[in-house]
Chains A and B, each alone.
Chain A
Amino acid sequence: GAVVSQHPSWVICKSGTSVKIECRSLDFQATTMFWYRQFPKQSLMLMATSNEGSKATYEQGVEKDKFLINHASLTLSTLTVTSAHPEDSSFYICSARRGQPNQPQHFGDGTRLSIL
């Protein structure tokens, strides 16, 4: 159990376009979902935390208008990178957690975003 599906796994698009990444918990209800960004050979950098039905909480330095997060249901969260530019190219990973806060996070397989 505790499977998190992330889609798409890889996307290439032109500068200026918006890209939506989906994160779904397939076999559990995720009260909290997290979005991370990971640069090559580096650790995971938390971008934002979202609870179902609430506005996302963004980490310091993360542009809210740039990275739109929606957590409309207990099984789906989306990250939209608006007006993407080459510097937004990165590996984006979501995770989901159910129930009590001290439960483990379960990660998706990530989305590699390349902006040309």
Chain B
Amino acid sequence: EAQVTQNPRYLITVTGKKLTVTCSQNMNHEYMSWYRQDPGLGLRQIYYSMNVEVTDKGDVPEGYKVSRKEKRNFPLILESPSPNQTSLYFCASSLSRGGQSPLHFGNGTRLTVT
């Protein structure tokens, strides 16, 4: 089944403790991206990748890192999480390298930083 798999679904952590949210797609998509969803602010792009070893900042990249060592995986890393990073996070992939085709979203990760 074609899908984007995100883990974990729920994560509670403390300020400063490094964490990684994994994202994997099995559709051979070129484009992968991360979003955070906050009430009233919609979906805001954190980082995106158009190819292996190619990543670029979205609208809200501060405090986040990503890597694209393989085509299928695009992990999101929070080196030193802070409470303002408490949010619902979505990973998504798209066939088109520039993101100009439908996004397929993972199921989301609800992160709480205390």
The answer to whether A and B come from one shared complex is no
Residues of chain B at the chain A interface (Cβ within 8 Å): none
